[in-house]
Structure 1
């Protein structure tokens, strides 16, 4: 990938305050993009902005589940600030909960956090991309949306499966206008959040988990972010509606 394919593009990353989202933002900045950083953690956003360079990034300290707030923020952007690239990185659920202990409230929360956020951001950002006849949207699905989950729960699996459906339909509708929409389906990645959950497991459970992964370890944040950058590039212009699996062979 040539950095010139991303240079000067405006990229909006949700969930940019930590984990894979933060690393994606750093890599986009390194490739020359300007950044709109979205996260409800203001302190984390400001720290990331300082890393990237204050002149390269604008912070939007908003909880993207607040539809009215994020709608107002996007509508308040100038044409030059409207994103060419959208990375919907917010989401996740590391809680292994059996079906018997779930209820509809938990399902609604998981859908709002993982699916509705991606739908809302796509709906708000796609019109400017269509006018420019160029755009890249990358949704964070999960191995949980591809098959069952050993690590999470039915509500999360349902929400991430729906993200894949959203990806395919919007890819179909936006393709003729030069907007490519893809999803990445990460397996267990050693983000700070996952490592915190990992530390609570017994050595036997950790061993049981890693033995299920053919590569025999958790993925790194660098490995998780790298493919996202490619999907944001000019070179990914013939790739749309796909789901890229990043899971160490856990789902083949």
Structure 2
């Protein structure tokens, strides 16, 4: 079974950056398969895509590999994605390593790294069979260096996403499949704004002051680079980590 160049599967598509990625890919003419564990949210996004929706959304938790396997197996041949965006992840808990436990590390790895591994493993064989594919993984500036916004368990997981991206890029390049990562900085998603809304103004101002651009990135700015790496004209770009962070890490 081979993948379709004109079909994209986006995980975490119910909100934030990935919902915008789904809309951006649809605007570029792709048919989109949405996946999210929040059925209500992902169906709202689906309603806005109209006839660019490839099929009904897949409702599954990316931390459950069996649920992901069932979801991918349910795709008809005409819905096999040639483009995969692994977008689930994140951790807004700014905690010291001395406060973390092994359970925190396991949660971070399962949510941010294992889900990328599972979705890639499930979707890439059809891309290899087609001789063409695009995989874009959402990493983080945290995986490039350190973080003032989260914690060491999250940094470790996102660094793992970057390493996984590079190895997959090396292995899959001969088959016409590119694998890249986008390392976002602080993006003004609803989730981030909710996480920070109870912080003192000086706490937020201090963190923004470390961003050379002096502001959060927009969701549209965050999604734009992801969409570019999904395109035909990104075929000679693989194994890269593209920084979208307002100069936070240069």
Whether these two folds match at TM > 0.5 is yes
Q: What CA deviation, in whole Å up to 9, does each residue of 1:152-177 have, x standing for no partner?
A: 00000000000000000000000000
Query: C-alpha separation between the residues in 2 aligned to 1:187 and 1:201?
Result: 19
Q: 2:36 aligns with which of 36, 39, 55?
A: 39
Aligned match for 1:123, one of 121, 124, 140: 121
In structure 2, distance between residues paired with 1:23 and 1:200: 26
1:105 and 2:109 aligned: no
Q: Name the structure 2 match of 1:203.
A: 201
The equivalent of 1:61 in structure 2 is 59
CA distance in 1, matches of 2:52, 2:85: 20
Q: Match of 2:150?
A: 152
Change (3 A) 1:69 1:173: same
Number of aligned positions between the proteins = 246
What's the offset of the Cα at 1:197?
1.6
Q: Which residue of 1 aligns with 2:80?
A: 82
Confirm or deny that 1:12 pairs with 2:9.
yes
Tell me, what secondary structure is at the counterpart of 1:137? strand
- Are the aligned partners of 1:8 and 1:32 in contact in 2 as well (CA < 8 Å)? no
State the 4+ residue runs in structure 1 displaced beyond 4 angstroms: none
| Cα distance in structure 2, aligned partners of 1:55 and 1:136 | 19
Deviation at 1:55, TM superposition (A): 6.0
Supply the distance in 2 between the matched residues of 1:189 and 1:239 (Cα, whole angstroms). Answer: 24
RMSD between aligned alpha carbons?
1.2
CA 1:237–1:111 in 2, change beyond 3 Å: closer, same or farther?
same
1:86-108 per-residue CA deviation (whole Å, 9 max, x = no partner) reads 00000000110111111001100
What are the equivalent positions in structure 2 for 1:183-198 lying under 5 Å apart?
A: 183-198=181-196
Any idea what the Cα deviations from partners look like across 1:105-138, whole Å, max 9, x if unmatched?
1100110000000000000000000011010000
Report what 1:221 is aligned to.
Answer: 219
TM-score (normalised: structure 1)? 0.95
Distance 1:148 1:64 in 2: 25
Q: Secondary structure at the match of 1:107?
A: helix
| Distance in 2 of aligned mates of 1:28 and 1:91 | 20
3-state SS in 2 of match to 1:26: helix
2-structure distance, mates of 1:221, 1:188 = 10
TM-score by length of 2: 0.96
* 1:179 shift after superposition: 0.2
8 A Cα contact 2:92 2:192, kept in partner: yes
Match of 2:45 in 1: 48
Contact 2:165 2:180 in 1 (8 A): yes
| 1:200 aligned counterpart, secondary structure | coil
Displacement of 1:21: 0.5
- The unaligned stretches of length 5 or more in structure 2 are none
